[in-house]
Structure 1
Amino acid sequence: MRSKELADFAGVTVRTLRHYHQLGLLPEPPRSANGYRAYGAVDLARVLRIKRLASLGIPLQQVAEMLAEDQVFTGAESACEAQVRTKDETLADLDRELAAQIERLQQQRCIIAELRERAIDPDVPPVFGEHLARLRGAGASSGLVDYERSGLLLVDRFFDESSDETEAVSQFFELVGETGSVEAYVEFNERMLNLSPDASEEDCRRLAEDFVSFMVPILKLGCEKHGWDLSAEKIEKLSCSPDFPYPSRNPEMACVEGKRSESESMLPKTCAAADDLPVPEEAQALDLLLDLYDEETLNDAQCRMNNLVIRGILSELVKG
């Protein structure tokens, strides 16, 4: 048989046969007088065997090792037993791997079912999906939805879905919904995203004050309902200075600060006293990414307004 005939009989392609030759799975057959490879029934049986093992999920490298063991088999009983054990170990490893794959697939199916049931975007963590759905329901622009989605994906990258930090952000969004404040949340964020680069300081200040008046009651409700630690003592320790010189940051991240321990503050410290407080590498990386994200997506006026909101929120929380 020539390559094409063998491939047809075995149900593979000629390219697959060449691949088997390259891996040493299929010995090179002798060539006929005209230079073509001449395969026999033994070669066909070997290809069928390779296909069978590969169909079980055994990597071709391991298939090669299993076939090589057959070639060195001496006929001794001990060698035969060792060969059987080796194959059994391979199958046991494969079975464990397949079980893990099945578990992952089942988890994926559960997530997909949840996404379909709750009409949640597949490209965001389910824990934040309802928030984006509420934004759309309140008439949020695609720009605002994209801005929120990207920021939440960055948070999700560094915090497990079951973490206190993720829970705090999710709780904040739930409070926005429970208090009937989704439309207001959309309005303030749209106003922020619509600020032109040359917006006046007065425009930034006025919007920041409105945003602070909106945010503070929700954050205080979170303290009462979920036990967020946003006490004056906590805020003063986190701020390091009376001016609260924080960089731009999404205002809803303030609730995360109340869930983190003092030494694990997500916000980068901007004063010398903060050098004594160690910040985990992941928190630092998230800080840098969030700052970079703001720099890439917000203009100067929007960043100034965002800073005013953060400072205003912290000032109001310190007052109690």
Structure 2
Amino acid sequence: MAPGTGTSADGGDDVRSRDLARLAGVSVRTLRHYHQIGVLPEPPRSANGYRSYAASDLIRVLRVRRLTDLGMPLSRIDPLMDIDAELALLDDDYARQIEHLRRRREAIRALRQRDTPVDTPAFAREYLAVVGGRRELPTPSVEIERDAALLLESILDPASISRLTALRQDEIERLADVSAALLDLDEDASREHLDTVVDALVSVLRQVTPLLLASRPTPDVARSFDVYVDDQLPPVQRETVRRAVRRLRD
């Protein structure tokens, strides 16, 4: 290359591209990408074969850069597009993202305030807080309930989870009463007490079973829940659950 000429082995294209890139605050590679995808039309070439960029090309690159800085994908940028409509769509998208992040922050705040394990499903937080407050229940029993809620979250569909999340406080207290009664059972429980717990479980299962059926769990998923119950509950509690299920099916 001759000193001071500004030309290069590719015929001077890089120099002109570099000038435009410098003014627009982008890279030469970005300019070439704009050409490839059609965001910036190829400029006409001068008599010596160099691309000849005009002021309008600089304005277009500045506009494209402004739109991409706002987050608009290059694939949506077109000279004929309705910019106001596109910006409205972009604004709506950001509003949804902000709302999504707001809900995440609320969930994190709730977990931190209550010192709740991070894997606790949102729909079960109030319920587990009530169960955890029962002095008669040891920590392992509360953990069993938490793990069961995590399994349920993987089984239930969004509509069923929303219904559980919307349970009233008195309904949550009722569920906690039944769970506490079941988890507190031992081999010394009387027949009458066992029957009372079975009756209470049947009532709860009548409330929960429609949610499970609506979610249409696969046989493997349903079986995994049954296996978990069998593995975690002591014999007297396991048999009590089975009696309630048989009663419900009869």
TM category (shorter chain) comes to 0.5 to 0.7
**Which ranges of structure 1 fall in alignment gaps of 5 or more residues?**
70-85, 189-205, 223-228, 231-254, 267-278
Alignment match of 1:107 (pick from 72, 89, 103): 103
How far did 1:46 drift?
Answer: 2.0
**Which ranges of structure 2 fall in alignment gaps of 5 or more residues?**
1-14
Q: Which residue of 2 aligns with 1:55?
A: 69
The AA in structure 2 aligned to 1:310 is V
Q: Which residue of 2 aligns with 1:312?
A: 243
Q: Is the 8 A contact 1:7 1:13 kept in 2?
A: yes
Q: Indicate the SS of the match to 1:127.
A: helix
- Structure showing greater radius of gyration is 2
Q: Cα RMSD between the aligned structures?
A: 5.2
Q: After the TM superposition, which residues 235-274 of structure 1 pair with which residues of structure 2 at under 5 Å, given as runs?
A: 255=204, 257-259=205-207, 264=210, 266=212
How far did 1:25 drift?
Answer: 0.4
The AA in structure 2 aligned to 1:289 is V
Distance in 2 (CA, whole Å) between partners of 1:124 and 1:302 is 18
How far did 1:34 drift?
Answer: 11
Alignment match of 2:31 (pick from 8, 11, 17): 17
How far did 1:170 drift?
Answer: 5.0
The AA in structure 1 aligned to 2:39 is L
How far did 1:62 drift?
Answer: 2.9
Are 2:113 and 1:120 aligned?
Answer: no
The AA in structure 2 aligned to 1:104 is H
User: Greater relative contact order (Cα 8 A, min sep 6): structure 1 or 2?
Assistant: 1
Distance in 1 (CA, whole Å) between partners of 2:198 and 2:49 is 82
Q: Which residue of 2 aligns with 1:28?
A: 42
Distance in 2 (CA, whole Å) between partners of 1:216 and 1:286 is 32
Q: Is the 8 A contact 2:40 2:61 kept in 1?
A: yes
The AA in structure 2 aligned to 1:258 is R
How far did 1:18 drift?
Answer: 4.1
Q: Percent identity?
A: 31
Q: After the TM superposition, which residues 170-185 of structure 1 pair with which residues of structure 2 at under 5 Å, given as runs?
A: 170-171=172-173, 174-175=176-177, 185=183
Q: Which residue of 2 aligns with 1:154?
A: 154
